[in-house]
């Protein structure tokens, strides 16, 4: 892969966009993101960090939109990114987006597919599609509402204005603000810590929360019950119970 770097350190995978200068998203980038996400589905990978430097991703390559207008493809690029974000979102393990610089449009939508977002002090995030006469096409009208609430999501999507790092944390769009030179190291350290946890159970909890969100309570509880049943007899579950009874720290293996 040339536009997306995929590396592994222990049980942690790092997916890093590599399309200078601003990591604009294109069809080629989308293809490699799909490949990297598929690699991260390996059960041996127990946590994932996604990033891009000096900018996470400053949105889609607008020249691609112009070409789509010319050949009648419309929003196909956004729909393709939505598929990638959804696949990344469904990874059954903890994921962190480490956001340097700009995460705009499709870049923010990609970051919202992660479980957690860490932002550099100088980061700017937003959904500026409205300024092009279009709307987000990869989840920006849906995931943003879930994270920041309807009123703030309306303001961001209607105006296209950017949000700084501190405000991103204040409104629930990000979890941590870090100095730029410490951001990726901290994300990788935290991912390594997550990788020692009961990642099968984390994946099950993640699925239950994602799939149960917005459903009537009975349907949501059925989703939870199925997820619970799926992890109850795992090796990690048996280890967790045994460690509790034996008053020791559990050693989870993601099995």
Digit-coded pLDDT (tens) for 181-198? 999 999 999 999 999 999
Task: List the beta strands (DSSP E) in 88-166.
Answer: 95-99, 102-104, 116-120, 124-126, 163-164
How does pLDDT run across 180-239, given as a tens digit for each residue? 999 999 999 999 999 999 999 999 999 999 999 889 999 999 999 999 999 999 999 999
Q: How far is residue 57's CA from residue 117's CA, in Å, rounded to a whole number?
A: 14
Our answer to whether residue 193 is catalytic in this structure is: no
- Give residue 79's pLDDT: 46
Of 16, 121, 129, 189, which is the active-site residue?
129
Nearest partner of 140 among 174, 168, 106, judged by Cα: 106
Mean pLDDT of 17-39: 94
Percent share of the chain, pLDDT over 90:
86
Q: Where is 143: in which H helix or E strand?
A: helix 143-148
CATH number of the domain at 199-245, please?
A: 1.10.12
Termini Cα distance of the chain: 30
Nearest partner of 202 among 217, 210, 87, 216, judged by Cα: 210
pLDDT band at 53 (very low <50, low <70, confident <90, very high): very high
pLDDT band at 67 (very low <50, low <70, confident <90, very high): low
Of 16, 32, 77, 109, which is the active-site residue?
109
> Looking at the predicted structure, is the pLDDT value of residue 28 above 70?
yes
Topology agreement, domain 4-194 and domain 199-245 = no
Select the more confidently predicted residue: 175 or 72.
175
Inter-residue contact 38 to 83 (CB < 8 Å): no
Domain 4-194 grouped into CATH 3.90.226.10: yes
Mean pLDDT of 154-169: 97
What residues does each domain of the chain span?
A: 4-194, 199-245
Our answer to whether residue 109 is catalytic in this structure is: yes
pLDDT band at 78 (very low <50, low <70, confident <90, very high): very low
């Amino acid at each position: 892969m040339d536009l997306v770097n995929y590396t592994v350190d222990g049980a942690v995978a790092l997916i890093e966009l590599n399309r200078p200068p601003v990591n604009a998203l294109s069809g080629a980038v989308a293809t490699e993101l799909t490949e990297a996400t598929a690699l991260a589905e390996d059960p041996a990978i127990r946590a994932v960090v996604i990033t891009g430097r000096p900018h996470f991703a400053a949105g889609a390559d607008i020249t691609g939109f112009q070409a789509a207008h010319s050949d009648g493809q419309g929003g196909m690029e956004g729909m393709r990114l939505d598929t990638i974000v959804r696949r990344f979102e469904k990874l059954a393990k903890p994921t962190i987006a480490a956001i340097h610089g700009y995460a705009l449009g499709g870049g923010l939508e990609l970051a919202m597919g992660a479980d957690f977002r860490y932002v550099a002090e100088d980061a700017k995030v937003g959904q500026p599609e409205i300024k092009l006469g279009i709307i987000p096409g990869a989840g920006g009208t849906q995931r943003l509402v879930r994270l920041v609430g309807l009123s703030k999501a309306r303001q961001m999507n209607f105006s296209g204005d950017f949000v700084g790092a501190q405000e991103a944390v204040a409104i629930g769009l990000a979890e941590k603000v870090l100095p730029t030179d410490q951001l990726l190291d901290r994300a990788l350290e935290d991912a390594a810590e997550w990788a020692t946890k009961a990642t099968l159970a984390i994946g099950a909890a993640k699925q239950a929360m994602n799939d149960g969100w917005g459903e009537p309570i009975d349907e949501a509880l059925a989703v939870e019950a199925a997820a619970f049943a799926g992890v109850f007899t795992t090796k990690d579950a048996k280890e967790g119970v045994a460690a509790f009874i034996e008053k020791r720290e559990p050693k989870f293996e993601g099995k």
